[in-house]
Amino acid sequence: MHAIKGMLFVFVGMALFLTVFSLFIPSKVVSERGIQIHATDERIMAEIGNLHNWKHWQPVFKTDSAQIKIKDGTLSQTASWMAKGKEVKINLYDRTPQSVKFTISREGELDIDNGIILLPVEESQSSKQVQWRAITHLRWYPWEKLSGIFTEKISGPSIDSSLQSLQQYLIKNP
C-alpha cells in the first residue's frame, strides 16, 4: 500500500509539472516558408486565389481531386474532403491583388490560419517572392502544447512541397 501511494504521488507530481511547464509554451505556432517564382502577379494569383486551380499544384488537391468538393460563395470559396475519417475544410475568405487568406479546419481541432502573400524581388521585375504563413492555435492542454513543439516540423515541409509544386507548375505552364 505504501508503494502504491508513492507511485501515485510521483504520477500526480509529474502531471502537475507537465501542466505548469506547458503554460510557458506559446499557444500559437507559426510556420513560414517562401520561394521565388518567375511569373507575373496575375498569373500567380490566378493559381492561389481560386481553389479550383489548386488541383494544378497543391499536392493534396492533385492526389485527391475527385474527393474534394469546392463550393463557390459570393465572398469566399470552400473546399472539403474526408481524411482519416474526419472532414477537412479550407475556407478561402480574403483575396487581394497581392495576397490570399484562408483557414484550414478539421473536426475536433482548432483552425489553422493561413496567408500567402506576393512580395517584390529587387533584382527582378518578373520574379516574385511567394511567402506562405500558417498559424496553428493550440489549446491549453499539456499534451496539445507539447505536441505544438513538433507542429512546425510537420507543417513546414508540407508548405515547402506546395510552394515547390506551384513553382514547377508555373514554369511548365507560363
What domains are there in the chain, each with its CATH number?
27-172 (3.30.530.20)
- pLDDT in the model for residue 65: 66
- Joined together, the cell numbers standing for residue 48 give 492561389
More reliable by pLDDT, 127 or 116: 116
Q: Exposed e or buried b for every residue in 104-125, given b needs 16+ CB within 10 A?
A: bbeeeeeebbbebbbeeeeeee
27-75 pLDDT, tens digit per residue, is 788 889 999 998 888 999 999 999 999 999 999 888 876 688 989 888 8
The secondary structure of residue 8, as a DSSP letter, is: H
Residue/partner pairs of 105-113 with CB below 8 Å, 24 or more apart: 110/136, 110/137, 110/138, 110/139, 111/137, 112/136, 112/137, 112/155, 113/137
- pLDDT in the model for residue 22: 64
Highest mean pLDDT among 12-16, 24-28, 110-114, 121-125: 110-114
Cβ atoms of 159 and 57 within 8 Å: the answer is no
pTM reported for the whole predicted model: 0.79
